[in-house]
Amino acid sequence: MSETYDPRHTAVLLVDPYNDFISEGGLNWERLAPVALDVGLVDHLRSVVAAARGSDVRVVFVPHRRWQPGDYDSWSYPNPTHRAIQKKHSFALGTWGGTFHPDFQPQEGELVAHEHWSQSGFANTDLNLLLQQHDISHVILIGVLANTCIESTGRFAMELGFHVTLVRDATAAFSAEMMYAAHELNGPTFAHSIVTTEEIVGVLEGLSGSS
């Protein structure tokens, strides 16, 4: 990798690490499992988060809105994802499914952005403010889903002037075709770097003690 990352100005954005997505038994796990298991999603998330914490790179949690009764009921233009959440009650507040996977719990000093209602972690949240106030210039995106929240958050980050890195096997989608679109078709139009877990972990581990 030719990219340079300064731990003082780099953050890993961990998007939507809910049980409903990435834990067996979660409401969306059955659809995600074929791709998630194929790429080693959860193990790769663990590796990137551990490497970030070991190198003093900031970990920022970017969570989706946790469903509550009445959500989207009176909206003028709910999208198909909103309608699916209305039906399934994905990430419901106060439930196991709406709780972060046990291996991905915020540690002291880590940031948790306000919940996003749709796909971008930036739209109608405080994520941009948090990153600016902590002098972040480079963001490394991991989590789910590759072709929705990861892509939308990454594209928004680029528009705001951040350097964007996608980690192709530290994310997953509901089909191989969606993964291909996320990394081969759409990702190159906004991401500055698209890498593997092995590559980004090697970079992060090399930052240890450099800040």
pTM above 0.95, yes or no: yes
Range of the domain at 149: 7-207
Cα–Cα distance between 167 and 170 in angstroms, integer? Answer: 5
Look at residue 10 in the predicted model and tell me its pLDDT: 98
Cα–Cα distance between 138 and 93 in angstroms, integer? Answer: 31
22 within domain boundaries: yes
2 within domain boundaries: no
159 within domain boundaries: yes
Q: Considering its fold, how many domains does the chain have in total? A: 1
147 within domain boundaries: yes
73 within domain boundaries: yes
pLDDT along the chain (211 residues), means of 10: 87 98 98 98 98 97 98 97 96 98 97 98 98 98 98 98 98 98 98 98 85 52
DSSP string, 147-170: IIIIHHHHHHHHHTT-EEEEEEEE
CB hemisphere CA count around 138 (13 angstroms)? 18
Whichever domain contains 103, its CATH number is: 3.40.50.850
Cα–Cα distance between 166 and 139 in angstroms, integer? Answer: 9
1 within domain boundaries: no
Tokens of 75: 């909206």
> Which amino acid appears at position 1 of this protein?
M
46 within domain boundaries: yes
Residue count of the chain: 211
Cα–Cα distance between 123 and 109 in angstroms, integer? Answer: 23
